[in-house]
């Protein structure tokens, strides 16, 4: 199995659920970026990742999952910094690919078709 180094922008319900499941499935989680230190550090600690408020992702990042509230996606994507070949996806089913800025070349939508709770 290919092991991607996955990072997250966001530490809410969707990010927490996806991060924990991917970690328990054997994927490496590199970085959790969150404005909230409490939820960001808690999620990072649960999957042995680093935590930051800075949307600059290390070169080792293969996939970035942007799991933030829908109204914040555009601003997060425009601020995000990563390698040109990093795959960046968001988790909003109501927002298309057109929200991605030009500097993000590999992009997609990873829309989980279910409701998430913290538990």
Within a 10 A sphere around the Cβ of 93, how many other Cβ atoms? 12
Within a 10 A sphere around the Cβ of 10, how many other Cβ atoms? 28
Residue partners of 76: CB distance under 8 A and separation at least 6: 9, 10, 55, 66, 68
Using one digit for the tens of pLDDT, what is the confidence trace for 34-74? 999 999 999 999 999 999 999 999 999 999 999 999 999 99
**pTM recorded for the entire structure:** 0.92
The architecture of the domain spanning 5-109 is: 3-Layer(aba) Sandwich (3.40)
Return the closest-CA partner of residue 55 out of 6, 102, 9.
Answer: 9
């Amino acid at each position: 199995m290919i092991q991607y180094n996955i990072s997250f922008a966001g530490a809410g319900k969707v990010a927490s659920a996806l991060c924990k499941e991917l970690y328990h499935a054997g994927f490496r989680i590199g970085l959790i970026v969150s404005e909230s230190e409490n939820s960001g550090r808690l999620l990072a600690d649960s999957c042995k990742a680093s935590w930051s408020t800075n949307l600059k992702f290390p070169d080792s990042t293969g996939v970035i999952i942007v799991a933030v509230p829908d109204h914040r996606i555009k601003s997060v994507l425009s601020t995000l910094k990563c390698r040109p070949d990093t795959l960046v996806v968001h988790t909003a089913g109501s927002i298309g690919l057109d929200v991605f800025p030009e500097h993000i070349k590999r992009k997609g939508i990873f829309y989980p078709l279910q409701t998430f709770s913290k538990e």
